């Protein structure tokens, strides 16, 4: 699998444009009589990606039983098997209740799957749909954490989720749990560069530790360049 060169995150304005572009999506294989329902399903899927932080393959295979009555989503990531725990916003839960659960019986308990298709092929289909949607929203490039521009990709919604939570005060270890990262250092490496104030605080904390750990003048400094003789 090709390693992605930089994380990509959409801005709030770009995300609003993505949602507005759903109404412009006019797929050829969807009859006019069912187009409104199809667009509602697409909107729900986009919102689900944005507010759950799921990767595309995990969202495609979402099972409603993984979402508790209190709005807490728990699932194991396909990529790593790690448990992710996310509190979904009320508006997304309401969207699911209004539409998504009606689809369960016809799609083998996975509302975003299609009949007689594999999970891989469904994921490819959703990726293609989202890339079309990004184009309709006028998003040709998105910024990476190091200031470069990259082509838009569905994974940027997971990145947006992580950055948004960090910027709104969620602790690093909590965001790691939401993303299903076993080690918060993974989260820090991927997303602290996006959040300059958190990165600055992280650097300040590291400097403070180093300052406190400095040996005093009275403390003997051991020379480790030469082995000591044993008695």
Domain of 126, CATH number, reads 1.10.443.10
Model confidence at 229, pLDDT cuts 50, 70, 90, reads low
Give residue-wise pLDDT tens across range 10-24. Answer: 778 899 999 999 999
- 83-134 residue pLDDT tens: 999 999 999 998 888 776 666 545 557 888 887 789 899 999 999 999 999 9
More confident residue, 8 or 188: 188
Q: Please, are residues 65 and 75 in contact by the beta-carbon 8 Å criterion?
A: no
pLDDT at 117: 85
Count the domains in the chain.
1
- Return the number of other C-beta atoms located less than 10 Å from residue 57's C-beta: 17
Decide if 226 is inside a domain.
Answer: no
Instruction: Look at residue 210 and tell me if it is in a domain.
Output: no
Residues 138-195: tens digit of each pLDDT: 998 887 666 677 889 999 999 999 999 998 889 999 999 999 999 999 999 888 888 7
Structural domain contains residue 217: no
- Over residues 49-71, the pLDDT tens digits come to 999 999 999 999 998 889 998 99
Q: Pick the residue with more confidence: 145 or 74?
A: 74
Q: Does residue 108 lie in a domain region?
A: yes
Helix axes 119-136, 35-52, angle to 10 degrees: 100
Instruction: Name the residue range of residue 137's domain.
Output: 12-194
Residue range 22-38: mean pLDDT, rounded: 87
Q: Is 103 among the domain residues?
A: yes
Supply the pLDDT for residue 224: 47
* Residue 97: inside a domain: yes
Task: Please give the pLDDT value at position 147.
Answer: 64
Please report whether residue 86 resides in a domain.
Answer: yes
Is the pLDDT reported for residue 231 higher than 50? no
Q: Which pLDDT does position 11 carry in this prediction?
A: 78
7 within a domain of the structure (yes/no): no
Answering whether pTM is above 0.85, one says: no
């Amino acid at each position: 699998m090709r390693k992605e060169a930089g994380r990509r995150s959409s801005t709030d304005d770009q995300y609003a444009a993505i949602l507005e572009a759903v109404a412009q999506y006019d797929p050829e294989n969807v009859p006019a009589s069912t187009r409104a329902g199809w667009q509602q399903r697409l909107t729900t899927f986009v919102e689900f990606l944005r507010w759950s932080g799921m990767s595309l393959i995990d969202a495609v295979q979402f099972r409603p039983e993984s979402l508790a009555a209190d709005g807490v989503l728990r699932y194991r990531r396909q990529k790593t098997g790690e448990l992710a725990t996310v509190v979904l916003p009320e508006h997304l839960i309401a969207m699911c209740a209004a539409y998504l659960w009606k689809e369960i019986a016809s799609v083998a308990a996975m509302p975003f799957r299609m009949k007689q298709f594999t999970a891989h092929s469904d994921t490819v289909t959703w990726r293609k749909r989202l890339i079309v949607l990004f184009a309709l929203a006028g998003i040709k490039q998105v910024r990476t954490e190091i200031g470069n521009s990259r082509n838009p990709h569905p994974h940027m919604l997971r990145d947006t989720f992580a950055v948004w939570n960090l910027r709104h005060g969620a602790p690093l270890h909590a965001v790691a749990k939401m993303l299903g990262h076993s080690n918060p250092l993974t989260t820090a490496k991927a997303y602290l560069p996006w959040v300059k104030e958190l990165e600055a605080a992280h650097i300040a904390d590291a400097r403070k530790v180093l300052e406190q750990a400095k040996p005093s003048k009275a403390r003997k400094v051991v020379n480790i360049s030469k082995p000591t003789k044993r008695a």
